[in-house]
Amino acid sequence: MLKLGNYLALPRAVTQKSAAMKRALITLLSLAALFTVHAEDAKVLATTPDLHKGTEGRINQFNEISKKGEAQLVFLGDSITHGWEGQKAIWDTAFGQYKPANFGIGGDRTEHVLWRIDNGNFDGLKPKLTVIMIGTNNTGHRNGKEPAEQTCAGVKAIIERLAKKCPDSKVLLLGIFPRGEKPDDKLRKHNAAINELLAKLADGKKVQFLDIGKSFLQPDGTLSKEIMPDLLHLSPKGYQIWADSIKDKVAEMMK
């Protein structure tokens, strides 16, 4: 049989329970809001043009190249593309006949490339073909937390910007190169997820997609430091593989 004290304690217990439930609900709503903000932030970061501070000098060099209007083949990307400048012999043998230009900047993400295109890159330049490989810094600099869909949206925006500036030009979109030693590397898997989406941006005519990632891998799927010394950037042997893997496609699209 319940005593009077038990009855008096019931409302207090119910109140405490309700307060706890209320706090839990607030916490869940807060986490949901936080996730939404982060997802939206990622979209803005990937698709909103942003100056990569400290690269202004190199950007101006690209703008001067663009004004001359001579380059028929442009490589557009980040440090991996930038690295072609240290591989002149391979570059000249594979692409020299096309009056090529290297528009790679170390550390660039999709938003940085968008800023460049909006601020002088390709002004006056009408290449027959632009080779794009961008996105691994969206993955790495944000530790795989930028949704693959948002990185893809950034690449899509780049292609659309180029179509407006150079409507008669073609694009060879490369899949983001593998990174990390093993197939189960978190960031490598994230790049692979982005590549699945990038493939859908190709129309088979003006925009073609080519994923040469497997060319850099060992039979067991691992990356060798002979090809990528830091498991991200290419060695001379890696650049030779890159050249050999795309030269036929480049020749076809340059016609």
Catalytic residue among 82, 112, 190, 233: 233
d(CA 158, CA 58): 19
Catalytic residue among 50, 79, 118, 123: 79
Our answer to whether residue 79 is catalytic in this structure is yes
| 171 touches 162 (CB < 8 A) | yes
Structure tokens at 173: 């979109």
| 156 touches 111 (CB < 8 A) | no
Q: Map the chain to HEC letters.
A: CCCHHHHHHHHHHHHHHHHHHHHHHHHHHHHHHHHHHHHHHHHHHHHCCCCCCCCHHHHHHHHHHHHHCCCCEEEEECHHHHHHHHCHHHHHHHHHHHCEEEEECCCCCHHHHHHHHHCCCCCCCCCCEEEEECCHHHHHCCCCCCCHHHHHHHHHHHHHHHHHHCCCCEEEEECCCCCCCCCCCHHHHHHHHHHHHHHHHCCCCCEEEECCHHHHECCCCCECCCCCCCCCCCCHHHHHHHHHHHHHHHHHHHC
Our answer to whether residue 230 is catalytic in this structure is yes
Our answer to whether residue 233 is catalytic in this structure is yes
- Residues annotated as catalytic (active site), given as ranges: 79, 230, 233
